[in-house]
Chains A and B, each alone.
Chain A
Amino acid sequence: MPTTLRSGAEVLVDVLHQEGVEYIFGIPGGAAIPIYDALVDSPIKLILNRHEQGATHMADGYARSTGRPGVVVVTSGPGATNTITGILTAQMDSVPLVVITGQASTNVLGLDAFQEADVSGVSFSIVKHSYLIKRAEDIPRIVREAFHLSRTGRPGVVLIDVPKDISSRMIEPNFSEAFHLPGYIIPKEGDLDRIEEAAGLLAHARRPVLIVGHGAVISGAEKAVTYLAEKLQIPVMNTLLGKGCFPETHELSLGMPGMHGTAYANKALAACDLVLSIGSRWDDRITGKVSDFCKNAVKIHIDIDPSEINKIIQVDCAIIGDARYVVEAISAIAERGDTGEWLKQVAKWKRDYPLKYKKEGKLKVQHVIDTMYKLTGGDAIVVTDVGQHQMWAAQFFPVVKRYRWLSSGGAGTMGYGMPAALGAQFAHPDELVIAFVGDGGFQMTQSELATAVIHKLPVKIVIANNHYLGMVRQWQAMFFDNRLSGVELEGNPNFVKLAEAYGCKGFRIKRPADVRRILQAALDYSEGPCIIDVEVEKEDDVYPMIPAGATLDEMMLEPPKINMQGK
C-alpha cells in the first residue's frame, strides 16, 4: 500500500489547514467521528460547543470580526438541522461560513437511515451554495471551491455534506485539481459610463446623502467612503450592519436611519435630493413605505450583487461592482457640488434632535450602554443580540472601525449575541469584546457560557434584564392597545447565580448611581467571562420610531399621546 493514502476525513482536514482555518466549532456524532478523529492530529483548534446553533453563531462572530470564513463541523441529522438558524443568520447578512455536516453513508442515502437528514434539501434557499460529496477524490477541489465561494463576491454560507463512507475512504489525494465554477462571476470594477454618470449626479446634487451598508464594510471601503464624503462634503448614514464603515463620530456622520434610527438621519433622508447607497440593500427597516421613499431624490445604487438592483427601489443609476473600487473611481473624478446650505441644515437637525435618555429615576439600558462607551472610549468589539437593547446599542455605541460591530440584521436572530461574541474573542484574544444581550435572547443560547468559561474568554456579557421580550412588548403596547400576549419573562433565573454555577463571574447593577462603578469593576475583571445582570426599567420603549410600513415623516420622537391601534 503506498504511504500517500489518506482517509477522506484527513484530506478534508488537510485542506482546511491549507485554507488557513484556525478554529473549528461544533459537536461530533456518529457520522462526523471520522472528521473529528482527523482533527486529533491537526493544528486546527477544535472548540466543542453545547449546541450546534451556538457553534454556527460562534463561527459567524469569528467571520464578521475578521472577514475570514468561519468553519463549523457537526454530525448528520439533528446536528445538521441545529445549524439551520445559524446558517440563515449568516447568509442573510452575507457572512462567510463553511458548514460541514456529517451524513449517513452513500449506500443508504434517501432511505431514512439513522440520523439521516436531507440537509441540502432543507437549506437550499438559505445558502450561497452547497455540496453533497459522492466521491472522496473530489474532497480537495470541493473544499477549496467552498472557501472560494464563501468569501468572494457577495460572501455567504457554503454547506458541505460528507457521507460517512466518503470521509472513511482511503484515497490518494490530488490537492491541485482546478475549480469548476463556470457560472460564477465576481464583479469588481464597475461600468465606467455609470461611474461617470454617478459622479455627474453627485456634483449637481444640492442635498445629497450617502447610505453605507454591510457591503461597504465587507469590501473594505472605509477609506474610499471617507475620502468621497470629505471631498464632496456629503453627510453619511450607515445601516445597522454598515456601522464601522464610516466613523460615527465624524462630523459628517448621521448615524443610522430607519425604524429606530436617529431623527436627523431620517429628516435628512426625507429631504435629500440624491441618495447614494453603497453596499446596502434598501431594507424595509430603512425605507418604510417603499412607494414614498425619497420620492423626489435621485437614487444611485452600488452593489456587487446584480439581483439587488431594482429589487426594492427603482434606481436612476446602478453600478455593479465591488464597493471599494467603485467608490474610489467615483471620488477620483467627482467634483464637489454646492452642499453648504444642506450641511448647515443637517447640523441644525443634529443639534435640535439629539438622541437622549434620562439618567435619573429608573435605570435605563441606554444609560448602561452609553457609560460602557464612555468607559472604554469606544475601543471594543461590540456584539448584540436582537431586541430593544440592540437598537439602543446601535444608537448609543458609535463605531469607528470595521469588524467591531456584530449584530444579526437580516434575520434578527435572538440567541446570536453571546456565542458570536465568543467567536470574536477567539479571533481577537487581546481585544475587549462586549456583548449586549436581552434577558430573552440570552436564554436561547446561554449554554455556550460553558464554552466561554472553559476557554477563559474575557467577554463582558451585559444582560439588559427587563423581564420582558421587550421589543415585542413595545409593539403590543403601541399597536395592539397594550394587550400583552406572551411577552412576560416570568421565571428568569438569577443570572448572577447562573453565572456562578458555570464558574463565571457575575455582577449586578440595580441603580443608576452604580452603573459606572460596577461596569468599571467588570472591565477590570480579567480572569474569564463575566455576566453583568442589569435590572432595568421594565417598560421602556425605543425612540425615535417609524412604524412598519409608514413614511419617514411619520417618525415619532417620543411616546404618542394618542392610541396607535390600527396603524
Chain B
Amino acid sequence: MNGNGKKHAISLYVANKPGVLIRVSLVFARRGYNIDSLVVSGAHDPAYSQMNIEATGDEKTLDQILKQLNKLVDVVHARDNTGEDVIAREFALIKVNCPPEVRSEVLQVAHAFDAETVDLSEDTITLQISGESHKIDSIHTVFSKYGVIEMVRSGKIIIARGTRSTS
C-alpha cells in the first residue's frame, strides 16, 4: 500500500485529551499507512493540540484516512496540506565526526548552512539546523563525507501563510 505514493503533510487540530494520539495513529495503522513523522504540541488554546503528520501513500487511501480522522470525535479537523501554500519547517540536531584535522572545514560548511554549534568534543561536533526538509536532507548528505554519527529530526511542522489559519 505504501511506497507507490508521495509524501503528504497532514495537519490536525484536536481536543487536548488522553488517548487522542492512539485514535489518530490507529486510523493510519488500520489502512497500513506508515507515519514518517509526527509532531504534537499544545495549541494556542490549551484545550486543543496541533498535530503535524507526514505520511507516504496513495491518494485514494489518504482520502479515506482523512475522512476517518475527521470522523473521530476528538478531531476538530484534519487536512492534507500537500501542494498548498504553507510554510513547512523542520529542525534537526546532527552529530558529525570532527577530529582537529577537519574541524575548520566542517565549521565552514556548517556556516554555509546557517547551522549553530551546540556541542563540541575532541572528535565530534553537534550542530543545530532548521529549514525545509530537503535542506536537512542535503546537510546530511554533505556531512556524510566526514561521517554523521547520528541525526535527530523533529519532524515537519506547518503553518499557513498570511491571515489564513492552519487547520
Contact = CB atoms under 8 A, between A and B. Distances in A.
A374 B26 CA distance: 49
26 contacts: A124-B19, A124-B22, A124-B26, A125-B26, A125-B30, A128-B73, A129-B73, A130-B19, A132-B18, A149-B73, A180-B15, A182-B15, A182-B76, A183-B15, A183-B72, A183-B73, A184-B73, A305-B71, A306-B67, A306-B70, A307-B64, A307-B67, A307-B68, A307-B70, A307-B71, A310-B64
Give the 7 A-B residue pairs with the shortest CB-CB distance, closest first: A307-B67, A183-B76, A129-B73, A183-B75, A182-B76, A307-B68, A184-B73
A194 B47 CA distance: 36
Interface in B144-158: none
Given A183-B15, A307-B67, A310-B63, A121 B73 contact: no
Contact of B73 (A181, A306, A310, A311): A181
A130 B20 CA distance: 11
Contacts of A120: 19
B103 interface: no
Nearest to B68: A307
B140 interface: no
Contacts of A121: 22
Interface string B1-25: 0000000000000110011001100
Given A124-B23, A184-B73, 19 more contacts: A124-B19, A124-B22, A124-B26, A128-B73, A130-B19, A132-B18, A183-B70, A183-B72, A183-B73, A183-B74, A183-B75, A306-B71, A307-B64, A307-B67, A307-B68, A307-B70, A307-B71, A309-B67, A311-B64
Interface residues of B, number: 22
Contacts of A125: 26, 30
Interface string A361-404: 00000000000000000000000000000000000000000000
Interface of B: 14-15, 18-19, 22-23, 26, 30, 47-48, 63-64, 67-68, 70-77
Contacts of A149: 73
Interface residues of A, number: 20
Interface in A306-358: 306-307, 309-311
A229 to B, nearest CB: 30
B48 to A, nearest CB: 8
B80 to A, nearest CB: 15
A128 B72 CA distance: 8
A130 B17 CA distance: 12
Interface string A118-138: 001100110011101000000
A183 B22 contact: no
A121 B25 CA distance: 12
Given A306-B67, A310-B63, A132 B15 contact: no
Contacts of A124: 19, 22-23, 26
Contacts of A184: 73
Contacts of A180: 15, 47
Contacts of B15: 180, 182-183
B54 to A, nearest CB: 22
A184 B72 CA distance: 8
Contacts of B76: 182-183
Contacts of A132: 18-19
A508 B97 CA distance: 85
Contacts of B19: 120, 124, 130, 132
A206 B73 CA distance: 42
A114 to B, nearest CB: 23
Nearest to B65: A307
B18 to A, nearest CB: 7
Contacts of B71: 305-307
A305 B30 CA distance: 18
Contacts of A305: 71
Nearest to A120: B19
A461 to B, nearest CB: 37
Nearest to A145: B73
A104 B73 CA distance: 26
A310 B22 CA distance: 25
Nearest to B76: A183
Contacts of A130: 19
Contacts of A183: 14-15, 70, 72-77
A497 to B, nearest CB: 46
Nearest to B67: A307
Interface in A181-206: 181-184
A502 to B, nearest CB: 41
Contacts of A309: 67
Contacts of B23: 124
Most buried by A among B47, B73, B77: B73
A364 B14 CA distance: 56
A130 B75 CA distance: 14
A311 B65 CA distance: 10
Contacts of B70: 183, 306-307
Nearest to B72: A183
A181 B72 CA distance: 11
A541 B23 CA distance: 42
A457 B19 CA distance: 41
A183 B47 CA distance: 12
A389 to B, nearest CB: 32
B28 to A, nearest CB: 12
Interface string A466-496: 0000000000000000000000000000000
Contacts of A182: 15, 48, 76
